Chain A
Amino acid sequence: MGSPVPIPVELSRGEAFDNTTLNLLLPMHVQLDAHGKITHVGPTFAKLFDAHTSLEGQYLFQYIQISFPTDMTTYQNLASHYNEALVAQIITHKEFDLKAVAVPMPNNAGVLINFAFGTSLKEAVDHWHLKGKDFSPSDPTVEMLYVFEVQSALLQESQNLNDRLNGERQEAEEKAYTDPLTGLCNRRALDRHIKRLQRRRVPKSFAVFLIDLDHFKSVNDTLGHAAGDRVLQEVADILLNETRPTDIVVRSGGIRAIA
């Protein structure tokens, strides 16, 4: 949620804002007395606990742990980290990281800590069923939620689109490099394969066989093209069975080649 909001706890004459004002401006704040006991909680902070939990009069550190800075295990250490960004968790819901900042109240009246959801915002809003008015009217949280929700929906759409396009691309590529009748590679695939063989880092020799089927024309002429196609498919299967997986078998305008 960006850097901590500067907290206007003190007016020019040294008087604090009343709690109604603080609840509006900082609905997730907590006020502590000099011993670390809770004297007041903002309305949204109160929602993070069971309805029957009465937080006032309790020690805040019974409910909250501060994970950063790491030396913040007791209330006494808080004073050395006033005005700094803190990371905190509710002890019953450690999966949510809260951001926080603590400031001393005027006239040594205690400490005010303001919390925010930070990166857990979306999950926290879902979990506690928070609404727009649980945040300060000037807080950009609602706008952020719009961006989150819409962007994640769009990202999902984008992934679906990519999957579809990728499938179509693979299919088109396959079509571009195969002979539709026999499933063998075509002339274009042969060119690509030979280029790849020539590009090898350690040059090795390779062989190209050209095979011609004798009397094939008479099959077509006497038994029809369907029979001719069948012969080609049979030959293709035989050649595929007799070659190694690294070889390719190509049908290129009536010519078969094995590389």
Chain B
Amino acid sequence: MHGMINRGLQCYICDIHGADVWEETCERAKLPFYNFESLLTYDDTATEDILSSFSSLIGRSRDEILENFGTYVVSEEALSTVRRLLKFGGDTYVEFLWSLNFVYARAKMAVPDLDVPAMTLTSHTPTQFTLTTRTPKRSYGATLLGLLRALADDYNTLVSITHKRRVLKHVDEDIFDITIHHENLRKCGTLKLVGH
């Protein structure tokens, strides 16, 4: 896994649970170091070991941890670049969802070896969408679930998202069914006040 992702995971654990928990996680995972470097690429087992030792340490499932991590990536000020780039996709959550079709290629152009899933969005009605992602890295879909939920929050949009995972021969396929209940909650409030 790319060092940027491992480093992100390290920042998340340190920020939310403290440096002690991070160090203990590293020790339990039998890592020979305490710091991931963003510019290096690590063996996938390092990330797996971190996730499983952290999971047993705090008593949360892998999916819960990854979903929280996805939320953290979007909401954390230190990582505002990620939010800024994603929000450059549009003024509304729907516009953002459509821009996800291009994220894989753009991220690959910026950092060729970054582990980003390929994403395809389809719409059924103006408020119902299906996002399908594929990646050879197994069991990371919950991260995207956290990210999608946190961005809906950022856009003041009320959504419900269901997540299904399909294990295919060479890749994991994650399917997110997204229903938009209320777009731009804050603006709606204002409109009601002025009598619309």
Interface residues of A (CB under 8 A from B): 125, 131-133, 142-143, 145-147, 149-151, 153-154, 157-158, 161
Contacts and interface: CB of A to CB of B under 8 A. Distances in A.
A142 B39 CA distance: 24
Contact of B109 (A131, A143, A154, A157): A143
Given A142-B102, A145-B85, A161-B37, A150 B110 contact: yes
Given A131-B91, A133-B95, A146-B109, A153 B81 contact: yes
Contacts, number: 51
A133 B84 contact: no
Given A157-B7, A158-B39, 16 more contacts: A125-B88, A131-B87, A131-B90, A131-B91, A132-B88, A132-B90, A132-B99, A133-B90, A142-B88, A142-B106, A146-B107, A146-B109, A147-B109, A149-B81, A154-B38, A154-B39
8 contacts: A131-B88, A142-B106, A143-B106, A147-B110, A149-B81, A149-B84, A149-B110, A151-B110
B136 interface: no
Interface of B: 4, 7, 37-39, 81, 84-85, 87-91, 95, 99, 102, 105-107, 109-111
Contacts of A145: 85, 88
A48 B95 CA distance: 23
Most chain A CB neighbours (cut-off 10 Å) among B7, B107, B111: B111
Nearest to B105: A143
B39 A157 contact: yes
A158 B95 CA distance: 34
Contacts of B111: 150, 154
Contacts of B37: 157, 161
A218 B194 CA distance: 98
Most chain B CB neighbours (cut-off 10 Å) among A132, A145, A151, A153: A132
The 4 closest A-B pairs by CB, nearest first: A150-B110, A157-B38, A146-B106, A146-B110
